[in-house]
Amino acid sequence: MKVYPTSGIRNIALAGHGGTGKTSLAEAMIFNTGAIKRLGKVDDGNTVADFLPEEIKKKITISTALIPCEYKDAKINVLDTPGYADFYYEVCGALRVVDSMVLVFSAAAGVEVQTQVIWEDNPDMPKIVFINKMERENADFYKVLTQIKESFADNVVPLQLPIGSEDSFKGVVDLVKMKAYIFEPGTGQITVEEIPADMMDDVEMYKMELIEAAAESNDDLLSKYLDGEELSDEELKSGIKEAAANGSAVFVLCGSTLKNMGIQPLMDFIVDCSPTPHYNPIVKGKDIEKEPFSAQVFKTIADAYIGRLNMFRVFTGKMKADSVIYNASKEKEEKITQLLIMTGKEQVAVPELNAGDIAAVAKLSVTGTSDTLTQKANPVITEPIEFPQPTLSMAIEPKSKGDEDKLSGAMQRLMEEDPTITIEKNSETHQTIMRTMGDTHMDIITEKLARKFGVDVIVKEMKIPYRETIRATVEVEGKHKKQSGGHGQYGHVWIKFEPNTEEKFTFEEHVFGGAVPRNYFPAVEKGLVEALDEGVLAGYPVSSIKATLYDGSYHTVDSSEMAFKMAAKIAFKKGMESAKPVLLEPIVNVEVEIPEAYMGDIIGDLNTKRGRVMGMEPAGKKQLVKAQVPLSEMSRYTIDLKSITQGRGKFRMQMDHYEEVPAMDAEKIIAKVKKEKEEKDK
């Protein structure tokens, strides 16, 4: 593959809901360049973009793939992105490094959730709409066009109109050239004909829309148009190009990726009209070819054999193989050996890259996703990519007990390539908690652990880190006395236990007259701190308690630190049992962002989860519901929220405080713990 100048590069992401045909579109595009000889199919598991075993098995895209298409003296860097919500972080990474996107819609299904999320999250990015699956039953171009305009904006303008639909779909009318293009299924071949007479009314109406959109892109063209003058063909093309590049209009094309119909006109439009790398907002206004070198990593692939592979975009300057670059994010120099152009999983080395190009580099020592690569003499840091926060928490453990270290190493590698996974060892429940974007994401990670790193894991519900405390004040005695020939053991304390306003444990001593010598105070405190690990109700850690040592006695020979430690533990157990012990549960602050239409359903659902709604406020076009909810009710909220809002809602939560568990719930929790303990003892 040759090295392309900046002006000859187009960076575009294929985005949209799952199942709209993005991967098939990428396949048809590369097939039309002659780079592959046979059109692969997702169902057959033989496409260039979906090459991971998990993708082939599930027949969905889970990882962004780069498919460079050399076409008409240009290079289209196509990033094929996943369409399922669990893998939205892949879309976020891809959209950082492209200059426009093709939003793919199904002509039968219309506007779907994930397409809506992507459009609304990226209102300013230039877009092209491709209405796919025109050959399908119930395909309706005009219905989908109306839905898109109603859902997003009225600056959505057809560039083509379909000739026929469903089984009779055979071509499009090009509204710029005013010709009919008839496609030969499969080959991409086009025959040019005159426009069918029965379509002329629609053609003339949409042609006027197109002329208006072109005129509005440029003040000179707009003046001419408003003065009633006709725009020449060249002016029309120039206006369309400007509107497409600056995002002032969204142009609509259509076709069938499965039959390779309508793909070539889309590729022509991308090369002729989509923005060049100079338009990207990160570099706009700069002479990007003359600026010092800077690039950003948008994706990392962790391979058990070849190690780490970083995919990046050069934003400014030139990058050469066999050079030293500077990772400004980590403040470390890195040695570049080869620059690799990826086509799916295939790699080809190139000697250099110009500003705007997208490629990969292997075996960098510290570089990860979001890092800025630059020159040490002129360090530039690009804003980190904002990825969504993981919201599904599950406990994981290796099936083989000896695989703990292996699992830890494997998770570290997976976290390098997936910025949304987090791992945490909970010191209270002693579980390893993995947070992901949803259940499909969780399944894919466990499959990767087994395939890539040979670690089979068990995924369980996360244990809730309950705690215990007291609600009354008591004064209790703790005495440890043992005589067994020679030195005995003697420790004797009186301790007052009372509720603490803070969550932590507080120890004080008010001993008068030396009833307990000062040198035994630390032993008493240590005994109490050790006893905090296990409460009397269900064995959960104890918090929010204050202990005051106020009296006791000692023996000049038999007393020891160990004896006073044991006496303190005896007093603790007695005190906990008689001071009205209660169970505490973690309460989280939850913020749920949803379209207003779902407000009632969300509030009703939070109420069933023992949540307290604290307030509501607008968040752009959506509503933000703030609530406090017990953590035990939130473990699978990701799945509940998707179900209630059809995937249109998102949420975040943060630990806030502990509260007493209602008596009925507490009884169930205590009974469950006792039953588990009995079964374990058997």
Could you report the per-residue pLDDT of 68-78, keeping only the tens digit for each? 999 999 999 99
φ and ψ of 681, to 5 deg: -70, -30
C-alpha 426/C-alpha 231 separation (Å) is 68
Domain of residue 416 covers 392-458
AA identity, residue 302: A
Amino acid identity at 559: S
Mean pLDDT comparison of 187-191, 287-291, 295-299, 421-425, highest-scoring range: 295-299
In DSSP terms, which residues pair with 643 in a beta bridge?
A: none
Q: Give the residue among 256, 125, 286 at the shortest CA–CA distance from 188.
A: 256
pLDDT tier, 487 (very low <50, low <70, confident <90, very high otherwise): confident
Looking at residue 305, what is its pLDDT? Answer: 66
Dihedral sign computed on CA atoms, order 451, 454, 455, 458: positive
Residues 606 and 637 in one domain: yes
Do both 38 and 181 map to the same domain? yes
Task: Please check whether residue 639 lies inside any domain of the structure.
Answer: yes
Residue 405 and residue 258 share a domain: no
Q: What residues contact 122, with CB distance under 8 A and at least 6 apart?
A: 95, 101
User: CATH number for the domain including 61?
Assistant: 3.40.50.300
Most confident of 32-36, 216-220, 346-350, 624-628: 624-628
Do 575 and 497 belong together in one domain?
Answer: yes
Of 529, 548, 532, nearest to 540 by C-alpha is 532
**Band of the pLDDT at 39, cuts 50, 70, 90?**
confident
Question: Is the domain of 102 the same as that of 127?
Answer: yes
Residue 681 domain flag? no
* Domain-terminating residue out of 517, 551, 579: 579
Mean pLDDT of 411-424: 91
Q: Is residue 230 part of a domain?
A: no
pLDDT digits (tens, 9 = 90+) for 384-403: 999 998 989 999 999 988 88
Which element (helix H / strand E) includes 474?
strand 474-482
> Position 328: which residue type?
A
Q: Position 178: which residue type?
A: M
CB atoms within 10 A of CB 258: 22
Q: Are 254 and 172 in contact (CB under 8 A)?
A: yes
Pull the structure tokens for residue 512. Answer: 């008068």
Write the DSSP assignment of 126-190 as a string of letters. -EEEEEE-TTSTT--HHHHHHHHHHHT-S-EEESEEEES-GGG--EEEETTTTEEEEE-TTT--E
In terms of domains, do 422 and 500 share one? no
Residues 10, 106: one domain?
yes
- CATH number of 445's domain: 3.30.70.870
Does residue 487 form part of some domain? yes
SS3 of residue 644 by DSSP: helix
Percent share of the chain, pLDDT over 90: 77
Cβ(580)–Cβ(536) below 8 Å: no
What tens digit of pLDDT does each residue of 477-486 get? 999 998 766 6
How many domains in the chain?
Answer: 5
One domain for residues 485 and 450: no
Whether residue 21 is predicted with pLDDT greater than 80 in this model: the reply is yes
Do 574 and 596 have their domain in common?
Answer: no
What is the band of 556 on the pLDDT scale with cuts at 50, 70, 90? confident
Q: Is residue 1 part of a domain?
A: no
Look at the alpha carbons of 622, 628, 631, 634 in this order and tell me if their dihedral is positive or negative.
negative
Give domain status of residue 673, yes or no. Answer: no
For 11, counting Cβ atoms within 10 Å of its Cβ (0-12 exposed, 13-18 middle, 19+ buried), the class is: buried
For 375, the 3-state DSSP assignment is coil
Are 300 and 442 part of one and the same domain? no
Instruction: Read off the tokens for 570.
Output: 């005896």
Q: Give Cα separations from 286 to 97, 273, 279, 355 (angstroms).
A: 16, 21, 10, 11
Same domain (yes/no): 142, 20: yes
Q: How many CB atoms lie within 10 A of CB 14?
A: 29
Together in a domain, 568 and 548: yes
Is pLDDT at 619 greater than 80 in this prediction?
A: yes
403: which residues sit within 8 A by CB, 6+ positions away? Answer: 455, 456
- The answer to whether residue 235 is domain-embedded is no
The domain that contains 575 carries what CATH number?
Answer: 3.30.230.10
Return d(Cα 375, Cα 25) in angstroms, integer. Answer: 37
Query: Which domain-ending residue is among 560, 579, 598?
Result: 579
Residue 608 lies in a domain: yes
User: Rg (Cα) of the chain, in Å, rounded?
Assistant: 33
Domain boundary among 346, 374, 402: 374
Mean pLDDT over 2-12 rounds to: 95
First to last CA, the chain: 67
Q: Does the pLDDT value for residue 315 go beyond 90?
A: yes
Give the phi and the psi of residue 388 in degrees, each rounded to 5: -65, 155
Which pLDDT tens digit goes with each residue over 497-521?
999 988 889 999 999 888 999 999 9
The enclosing domain of 312 has a CATH number of 2.40.30.10
How far apart are the C-alpha atoms of 55 and 622, rounded to whole Å? 33
**How confident is the model over 276-308, as pLDDT tens digits?**
999 999 998 899 999 999 999 999 998 766 678
Q: Is the dihedral of CA 40, 41, 43, 49 positive or negative?
A: positive
